[in-house]
Each structure stands twice: as C-alpha cells, then as structure tokens.
Chains A and B, each alone.
Chain A
Amino acid sequence: MTTHAPQAAQAVTLPASLDDAVAALAAMPAAVPVAGGTDLMAAVNSGQLRPAALVGLGRISEIRGWQYQDGHALLGAGLTHARMGRPDFAALIPALAAAARAAGPPQIRNAGTLGGNIATAAPTGDALPVLAALEATLIIAGAGGVRREIPVSHLLAGMEMLRPGELIGYVRVPLLHAPQVFLKATGRTGPGRATASVALVLDPARRGVRCAVGAIAPMPLRPLDAEAWVAQLIDWDGGRTLVPEALHAFGEYVAAACIPDPAPAEDGSVPPLPPAVLQLRRTVAVLARRALGRALS
C-alpha cells in the first residue's frame, strides 16, 4: 500500500506498437500517454494531475531505437537520455548526446525520453535547443496509421499542435557529419536545470552555422542574423578557423539577439537592463562564444 493508491481504479494499457497506442488513445479520449514519466508522475504525485487512464508507451519497441533514412536519422520518441548519451549515438549526433548526458541525474536519464522532452516542452528541456538547431522534424502518428510531419519549432512555438489522440512517433534529424556542441550553465557542479543553454551545429554542406539558445524563453531561440553573419566569415574550404575577435562578436551578437535592449525611451536614452537580465545575457554570450570556439577547434 502506498499513499498514492487510487490508481487501482485506473485503466492502464500497454500497447506494443505505435498504431495500437494511437488506437488506445482514440478508445479512451481521457487517457494520458506516459513514457518515462519523469515529469508526468511528479505532477501526479503532487496532486496536480489525476489521469483517468494511462497509455504506457514503454513497450513500443519500434520507437526505442533509431534508423537511417536518406541522410537523416529517424530517432524513436522512446529513446531514453541514457541511450542517447552513449558513444555510438554521440558519433551520429554529438550535440544531442551531450544534451542527453547533461539532462539531470542518472535516474532521470534512465527513464526520461526524447519524445517526453518534446511533449513536456519545458523551457529547460535540454534536448530542445539541439533539435531546434538541427531543424529537426517530428513524425506524428495519428488514427488509422496516418503520419504527418511538422517541424519541431512549430510545435514548440505553438504554431501547430498535437491533435487529440496523436502521438510523437519519431524525430527526423539530419546527419551533418560535422562538429556540434551543446553547453549549459546551471550555476552548480552537480546536475541541475539550465539557466541558459546553447546548441550549435556546423553544416559544412550548406556552409551554415546553426545555433539555438534554450532555457531563457518559453521555446528555444534562433539568432538567425548572427548565424548568417558568422557563417560567411568562416573559411569553409580551409581549416574552418575564425579569429578570436569574431568569436567574441558572435557571442555578443547571439546574446543581444536573444535578450534585446529595452526599447529606447522618448528622449532616446536606453534604460539599462536589470542586473539579473544582464547576467543572463553575459551567460548566453559566453556560452555561444565557447560553443562556436569548440565547434571550430
């Protein structure tokens, strides 16, 4: 007997395939899908959520691994952070592996999944800026075996939503075969939530640098102008080097784009940012500079 026992009255289904899971959700519209449960069960335990029924996604083996598809990796939404942190995965998508290793203590990484990170869409979700920088797309499973594809940024920005009964099935990520970096600042040495994070990937084929800043806004932010500016400074055919001043300027550029100065007052003077915001901006600048520096080193 535990103190949280009314689960006895609940229906729990454990479908074995994605389509079965979608069918189970269609059959019980009040049911809540659960994968790792690291966020959901905390909400249940604190009494904020009392799901009438649960659809457990843990037995769907098709979404617990990954496959290759014309230059992309199709990542199952059920991949755990622990799995993504391993060296074989890190060789494919280094930034996502780094984010997965930084995402909390081992107990959380063993249970928490990629799909759960996206569905929870917490601002501090460590995988989110990486997916935004990679311009990943989500493959959504709907009733009757229907699959549709939406960019991850659309979902995180609320431009497109999951419809009732739909599940995130896979995440389509381009394989770039180039350095990628994920850095996060937590203010402590042990595992903690990010105060700011930066994901940066190089795309040599398109001669692009893509960067996303996490944890400082409800969704990851992309400093597109800063990306374009720095990409044209990089000597893509040579050693991909950049002078330190450019690295520095890139950091400041990214930070100013994500945390802009307040609008000037009527007399033209710009009010100073509050100290905490200024510190956050400095942190973003340092992370972005270090991330680019590491990607190019």
Chain B
Amino acid sequence: MSNEAATATPAEAAPAPEPLPHGIGASLPSADARAKAEGTFPYAADLWAEGLLWAAVLRSPHPHARVLSIDTSHAREMPGVRAVVTHEDVPGTPLHGRGKADRPVFASEVVRHHGEPIAAVAADHPDTARMAAAAVIVEYEVLDPVTDPEQAFEAEPLHPDGNLIRHIPLHHGDPGASGDIVVEGLYRIGRQDPAPIGAEAGLAVPRPDGGVELYLASTDPHADRDAAAACYGLTPEQVKIVVTGVPGATADREDQGFQIPLGLLALKTGCPVKLTATREESFLGHAHRHPTLLRYRHHADAEGRLVKVEAQILLDAGAYADTSSDALAAAVSFACGPYVVPNAFIEGWAVRTNNPPSGHVRGEGAMQVCAAYEAQMDKLAKKLGADPAELRMRNVMSTGDVLPTGQTVTCPAPVAELLQAVQDSPLPTLPKDTPEDEWLLPGGPEGAGEPGAVRRGVGYGLGMVHMLGAEGADEVSTATVKVQNGVATVLCAAVETGQGFSTLARQIVQETLGIDEVHVAPVDTDQPAAGAGCRGRHTWVSGGAVERAAKMVRTQLLQPLAHKFGLSTELLQIADGKITSYDGVLSTTVAEVLEGKELWATAQCRPHPTEPLDGAGQGDAFVGMAFCAIRAVVDVDIELGSVRVVELAVAQDVGRVLNPAQLAARIEAGVTQGLGVALTENLRTPRGLIRHPDLTGYSLPTALDAPDIRIVKLVEERDVVAPFGAKAVSAVPVVTSPAAIASAVRAATGRPVNRLPIRPQAAVVTAV
C-alpha cells in the first residue's frame, strides 16, 4: 500500500463511532493490549530503583554432586561486590517448594539437578555480579546422576524424603473382566518447557521496618510471599509482593529459586536489588512438563466397546516434588479419557530423579495420558477395521457417566456432540487442488519437500481436563468492587497472566452495574489472597467473587430507589447505564442515582469442596471438567519424515462464551502449545544436563509451523455450579491437540507414532 493510500484510508473510514463493546458476551479488548503492542508496557525486567544493585545466581553445573566446600572469599573481595549469600545466610526455613517444601533455597550438602542455586551475589553492575558468582569456588564430588525414572525405584534415595513422590493404585470395577480384542502400547512423552518469552525478572526493595517488598511477575503472589517470608524468618506481613508487568504465562510463571535469593540480598545489603534472568537461567530455573512413560492395555468387545483399561503411568518429577502430586492425580484420574470404561486398573507413580524439576504446565498429567489413550483408540480401530472416529463415538461419555475414580460426571459432557462437529466440518483442500505457488509443503517454503512424497492424514483427538485445584484444595478468592464518581474499580489479587481475567472483571462489573468505565487495580499481597493463576481458576472463583461483590454494590445502589418507590430491587433492572422498573414507569440513569456516593462491597467465592483420592484411587476429586475434540489434518513427507500440520478443527465445551475474541485467542494459543508438544518441543537433558538452553535449540512453533486453527463449534451448555456457567478454556486444547496430531500422522504413514514429539524417523515410510 502506498503512503498516500495509507493516510487517506482512516479519513474515509470514519463513520459514526461504534459503541464500545461492553458486558458479558462482548469482545472487549484487553486493557493493556495497546501498550504491549506499542512496546510501552512496563515489564518486570524494566523495573528501576535509585541506587539499585544487580543480582546473579550461581547454579550447579552438575546434575548430582556432593558439595564439599563453598569458598566465597574471592567473590566477596571483588570491587563492586556488596554481598554474597549461600545456604548459611538463610535465616528462616532452608526449604521451599510449591507442592511440598523439599527444595533448598541454596544447595548446602548436595546438588540434585543441573542449575540448582548454590549462591547469589549482589553487585553494583550486572556483569560484576555475574563474574563474582563465577568466582565463588565450589568443590564438588560428582556423583552418578539418576536420570531414568525407571531406575529411581531401585536407586539410593536422592533426597531425605525418598525417591517415590506419590503412588496411586487406582482400582475400579472387576479385575477379571477381559475383552475379545486387546491392544497394548508403550508411549513416551518428552519434556516441554513453558518457555515464557519474557524471562524471569524482579526487584527487591528493603523496608525501613526490616521487611522487604518484592516486585515480581508472580502468578501466585500470596504463596510466593509465604514461601519467601518463611525463608527470611519474617512474618508474612513483613514481606509484600507487588505484581508488576507479567509478560504472559502458561504455567506457574516465576521461579521461587530466584525470588527468594533476591529478597535475601536486599535484606542483607539494605539496598534495592534487581535480577533479570538470561534465557539460559530461565530454562534452568523454572519447572517443566513431566516427561512421562505410559504402558497401556485396552480390552474391548467385538463391537469395539471398551471393557477394561489397564495402565501404568510413570511421571519423571525431576529433583523436587513441586506440583507432581497434582499432575499424577490428573494423569491417573483421566487415564481412560472421556470414554465409558466399566473396569479400570491404573497405577501411577511420580518419582524423583536428577533431571530438572517438573511442575505445573497447563494440562499437566491430562496431556500425557491423552496422547496415550488416543493412540490406543487408533490401535483398537485398526485392529477392528473400524473408522477411528466411529470407534470413539461408540465409547464417548456423557453427563451421568462415572469416571474410573468413582466420581460421577455431573457437569455437561457433550463429547459426542463435539466429535460430531469436527467430523462434519469440511476438509481443507488438497495441495494439488490449489495453485502451485501457494503450496506450503512439509519442510517449509524453502524446504526440501516434494509433492510426490507427501501423504495427507486425518486424525482425531478427544481430551478432558479438570478445572481448579483438585483433591480438597481450598480454592477461594476474594474481590472488592468500589464505585465512586461514576467509575468502578475492582480490587482482586487474581493476576492477569494473559488469561484475560482483568478484561473479564471489567465485563462482569459493566454487566451487573451498568457502569462502562471499570478499572482493575494492580495486584499486591496487601489484598486478600486469590490463589494461583492456573487451571482456569480465576475465571471461575475470582470471576465469581467479582460478580458477587458487584451484585452487592448493585443492591446498595438500588435499595434507596426501590424503597422510595415501594418496589423490591429485583423489579429494577440496569441496562446501558439506565435503571428502569419492570413496568417502565420509573426510568433514571445510574449516574444520577450514584451522584456523590461511594459504594463498596467485598465478596468471596468458594466452589463446592472436593476430596482426596483414597488408597484405591477413588474419590470425588474434581470440581468440574472440560472437554474438547480436535480433528487434525497433516501433510507428511514420508521420505524425510517432516510433518506439517495443515489444519486443526476444534470443537470445545465452554459452558458459556463470555468474551468471544478472548476465547478464540485462548483456544488458538492452547492448540499451538500442544502443537509444540507434538512436533518440536523437547528439552533434552542427556545425563541430566540441559542441552541447548536457548530458543534456537528449543524450537517453539513459529507462524510457519502453526496451522489454520478453525473453531468449528463452541458448545454452550452452562455448567450450573460455575459462575456464569462458564468453563475454563485454555488447558483442554493443549491436552488434546498433541493426540490429534499424532493420530493424523499415524493415518498418513501407517506408523505407530508412540513418542512425542514425533521425530522424523517415526514418520518415515521406508518401504514405499
């Protein structure tokens, strides 16, 4: 487009301004989208304080070693170095950890994974700090690392807590049941890294009262504060976390392993201290998705109806427990997928190794088993000579069916409808039917792809995931809504991680109070806790709390008016900033009634309680579940084994659409993250050492790798127990898309595809 045309367009295209979208169901844009696009959004890495010092962390170069001595004297003597801290300088509890406090702030006697923190330095320059960290002399006695999770059972304990983090033996139904047809498989899932593009960063500022303020891109500020305060030997009130500039998260964003040393250095030096992690430190520091080994046996009758599923699931938790226990519960509970399975015998283990720690990456546990049970469904279809989609259709669960954990699925479970929708959607055109210039073959636009060697495959994946914390976790959130001068403000400690909570909070208040201008206040730990930003909990519990608080404000607003006219508040309604009575007699504006008033209300939302899985893996462990069906269409160069995903058609059970644009973005992002699991993302750790901790070696999907993602159906069956009836939407596409892509590669090549990511040699057809 020429410059002239570009400048002319806006002038021509300036008809009457459209009313801004507002309220539930509208595609309200995110408040910070513009700043992020223009590069003016202040991320945590941009923080600054007068006279600040720079921190650097010394990390273990070995996956397993005994620490014989730590000599910090050279580092301390370097000009510009203000403090060096090691395990001896941790005044409070020496251990922290998300699921379980089993991880030392600094290694003292033994290092258990590559990248474990040993010491931290504060200096007046970032490079001085790094050089000083490198000048700390640590004498190691290198030990043999345990890197194969199967060896962990027999190996010497790597930790006082032992190598078995959790074992769930799930027994459901009749162990003697058997089917006419049996298929077996062994599956391996690689290690995905959340690889946040904005690496970890933070600033710690000491307070005159002996406390410390931490400015972090935390996604769970209260838990991070409690862990930090315990390690500092301070009360939680003396530590404040201010959430600043979160650059997007698909997991627990921040790594406590650098947050805690940061505050420690600030307390020690009395100066503000800043740290920005390099890409390498980022890969070494935060938790990864659990690499998983799965062994399955499915029994089915002659019609292809599932009779029994037997499975063994082994999660590699890495050196520390983190949230592995939750991941294992999800893996075991959803091991059979969204299918009716009368008899299930699933054993799951999460074990400790000297690999980098695994933790929460969305869809954890559920994603790994989905890839395996869907591979089994493909195998079963092949053995029966049935259509894979048709075989799935014969087995899908619906509301009222029972999970292998004994829990009845009470929420909407429109699995058959989802599968039907993706099946019915038209297939994309074949390359030969499109102009040759537009072909994008496997291998990319300048790649080696040759049309004669390309085979197309279509595959299906059905997935499910739970929402909110499971097994009795107290999922509570508190929110305050304040109205003053015609402007509403939401105060809630739910962190906007890109999931869209702050947009949703604005929509809820607009809908309930008819006030267009709504602000969401910044988050800090002086506010009541709202919990971690994961598993869709903020849409549910924090959204629910905001709605209740807004409704309380509404009552305060309408009460005097209702009283004056002798009506009950229920007979008044608010729409588009106007208050009208049921009969239309009374009509006034919100602004008029609000005149000069300041209204406040605080409310909590706590979903119905859940219970832990018992010794046989039984229990009502989940608040709710979400389902998804994906049809993948792939092109495979069967000589080179390169795979290009052409299209992913998604049908999802969303309960209710609250913000269509945001919802579509979340589904697209989730599907693409799953694409990474399926094709390219695997953090390799030969002998426990992270190889290529950079974004060249670790291949995230690019725009060229991402397929057309078509959302063919959103099933809006409201979940009565969820606020607004809406379900969490981000995790279930991540869970399902790897399975669908693997299924499509199976269809294209006839190869078994038992391992994710799919390596080229697994997609090559040797005897053409």
Contacts and interface: CB of A to CB of B under 8 A. Distances in A.
Contact of B701 (A187, A190, A195, A276): A190
A4 B126 CA distance: 7
Contacts of A3: 54, 126, 276
A184 B642 CA distance: 11
B440 interface: yes
A232 interface: no
A6 B280 CA distance: 20
A46 B759 CA distance: 29
B440 A276 contact: no
B702 A191 contact: yes
Contacts of A287: 448, 640
Given A6-B125, A279-B641, A283-B640, A189 B761 contact: no
A101 B760 CA distance: 23
A135 to B, nearest CB: 23
B443 A290 contact: no
The listed residue with most B CB atoms (<10 A of its CB), out of A46, A187, A190, A191, is: A187
A239 interface: no
A98 B446 CA distance: 7
The listed residue with most A CB atoms (<10 A of its CB), out of B54, B442, B448, B450, is: B448
A275 interface: yes
Nearest to A3: B126
A186 B126 contact: no
A47 interface: yes
Interface residues of B, number: 38
A189 B443 CA distance: 4
A295 B24 CA distance: 60
Contacts of A6: 125, 127
B642 A188 contact: yes
A5 B640 contact: no
Nearest to A188: B680
Interface string A175-200: 00000000111111111110100000
Contact of A190 (B127, B444, B448): B444
Contacts of A193: 696
Interface string A91-104: 00000001001100
Contacts of A187: 641-642, 680, 759-760
B151 interface: no
B75 to A, nearest CB: 16
A189 B760 CA distance: 12
A292 interface: no
Interface string A273-297: 0011001001100110010000000
A189 B450 contact: no
Nearest to B761: A279
A45 interface: yes
Contact of A5 (B125, B276, B679): B125
A145 interface: no
B374 interface: no
A42 B697 CA distance: 13
Nearest to B444: A189
B443 A185 contact: yes
B601 to A, nearest CB: 44
Interface in A70-102: 98, 101-102
Given A105-B702, A189-B704, A279 B642 contact: no
Interface in B493-507: none
A208 B704 CA distance: 37
Interface string B270-297: 0000001011100000000000000000
Nearest to B127: A6
Contacts of A275: 761
B347 interface: no
A165 B276 CA distance: 36
B51 interface: no
Contacts of A45: 278
A190 B675 CA distance: 13
Given A275-B761, A279-B764, A283-B640, A189 B125 contact: no
Contact of B644 (A189, A286, A290): A189
Nearest to B54: A3
Nearest to A282: B764
Given A193-B696, A279-B761, A279-B764, A186 B703 contact: no
Interface in A37-77: 42, 45-47
A290 B642 CA distance: 15
Given A3-B276, A105-B702, A188 B127 contact: no
A190 B126 CA distance: 34
B113 to A, nearest CB: 20
Contacts of B702: 105, 190-191
Contact of B705 (A47, A190, A283, A290): A190
Given A185-B443, A188-B680, A189-B705, A290 B448 contact: yes
Contacts of B679: 188
Interface string A18-45: 0000000000000000000000001001
Interface in A235-284: 275-276, 279, 282-283
Contacts of A186: 443-444, 447, 642
B639 interface: yes
Nearest to A124: B696
A10 B207 CA distance: 37
A2 to B, nearest CB: 8
Contacts of A105: 702
B448 A183 contact: yes
Interface in A188-246: 188-193, 195
A3 B278 CA distance: 10
Contacts of A46: 278-280, 694
B444 A185 contact: no
Interface string B660-689: 000000000000000000011000000000
A102 B760 contact: no
B408 interface: no
A183 B443 CA distance: 10
Contacts of A191: 444, 702, 704
A286 B765 CA distance: 12
B699 interface: yes
B519 interface: no
A258 to B, nearest CB: 16
Given A186-B444, A279-B760, A279-B761, A286 B639 contact: yes
Contacts of A47: 130, 278
B640 A192 contact: no
Given A276-B761, A279-B641, A283-B640, A101 B701 contact: no
A184 B641 CA distance: 13
A189 B641 contact: no
Given A186-B447, A188-B680, A189-B440, 6 more contacts: A102-B447, A184-B447, A187-B680, A189-B443, A279-B761, A283-B641
A-B residue pairs, 3 tightest by C-beta: A190-B702, A183-B448, A190-B704
Interface of A: 3-6, 42, 45-47, 98, 101-102, 105, 183-193, 195, 275-276, 279, 282-283, 286-287, 290
19 contacts: A3-B54, A3-B276, A4-B126, A42-B694, A102-B444, A184-B447, A185-B642, A186-B447, A188-B679, A188-B705, A189-B442, A189-B704, A190-B704, A191-B444, A192-B699, A279-B641, A279-B760, A283-B760, A286-B453
